[in-house]
Structure 1
Amino acid sequence: MKTLEMLLEYFKRNRLVNFGILIILAIILYGVLGSIFIMHLNIYDSIYYTIITIATVGYGDITPITPLEKIFTVTLILAGVGLLAYILTFIISSVTENLQNRRSGRIMAKRLAEMENHYVLCGFGRVGLSVFEELKKRNQKVIIVDMDEKATEDIEEDENIVVYNANATEDKTIKKLNIDKSLGVIIATGNDVDNLFMVLSIRELYKDAWIITRASKKENYKRLKHAGADKIISPEASGGV
């Protein structure tokens, strides 16, 4: 029942799949109308003839006689076999991928929820990598948050390391990181605006969170401190955390 609800929700949101379904219905409608007006069949035989022609079953009980009937049948076969096969393949693969993504999302949510006494590392560039290596040496648990999958693809995940490819500036992402049970949040992106936004969001959601952030420009130190950062570092001034 839950899977059915997920499928219905997916169809509602995915216009390409809906468009594919409309094309399939259009092919069936073409076959039925053509069978009525060209083959001179009744509605029931028209539906029957359309289905067996598209499915390439062809029992031989209804046979096109005139050139026009033969042309119609050929076009129906081409449309049915070619386009229908392509669209069905697309729909099946698309739905399967969506269900797999949903399942992966549930697994990720479970892993994130199970993390305790960990550090949340936002941003995995040069500084983020340096921070991660230091935390790893100390056998600390880490959730790495970065939108760039390529930046994190070489990280070997285990029970102490979770990679979450998402936008850390969004509240919905922040809420999944179990920050209230963490040892602290380390913001290491090279964008001071993003860092400021993350500090503000995290401090608003988690009053007691310990937040350390990177500042690329000295003039932003006060802004970050005022936003709620407990400690501010500069990659030029510090080699680690």
Structure 2
Amino acid sequence: MHPPTWLTAFLDLPADEFDAAVAFWQAVTGYSLSAYRGEREEFATLLPAAGDAFLRVQSVESGPAGVHLDLHAPDQVFEVRRSPGGLAYCLVSGTESERPAPTTWEDGNRSQVDQVCIDIPPALWDDECAFWASATGWELVQGGRPEFRRLRRPARQPLNILLQRLDEPDGPVRAHLDLSADDRAAEVRRHERLGAQVDRVHEGWTVMRPPAGPVYCVTGRVPSADPT
């Protein structure tokens, strides 16, 4: 497997939530939407004003809403694979290289979807951490809390990968999106105006429940202004 030169986060959305979820994430990001594609017109891409795309949406016929990663590399043959804990991911061909800058809103606050958090039950923790470090070739380092590890993102990559050890003893490995923002409280209020609800508040992040699609977090991390 080639080390990825780019990552894409895919929102996997049940058909009955698809339109509402896509509209919500367009509003959250400020991105436009590509033409639909696929046999059922089930795929689309969220398009930043500048830089290469790294967020896509997919209408799924069964199963709950979720998130998966695409790992891009030039001349990569398309494959669907699973991590040791069963989280699906895809190997795809791509040559993207320009990371978009954060979006600046009317109040001057900047925000950006810039992280995929992989949620891992304790029994699978070490295997999943080792797997994602090997799959990406990125350095695995300890996070700011005991339950977090992260992969050190190379320059130009659009997404961080955070690994979170869950409290629940078992269950599936899953993933969600995280946003960074200059002002976390202002960003949460903006999302509430778009129809999301606060689910839980932690010291460094707020868990949000959107009007459609999977839960996500607004974090206290400050977005990078440098798209390289």
* TM-score range relative to shorter protein: under 0.3
Higher helix share: 1
Higher strand share: 2
| The structure with more radius of gyration | 1
TM-score by length of 2: 0.25
TM-score by length of 1: 0.24
Which protein has greater RCO, CA pairs closer than 8 Å, 6+ apart?
Answer: 2
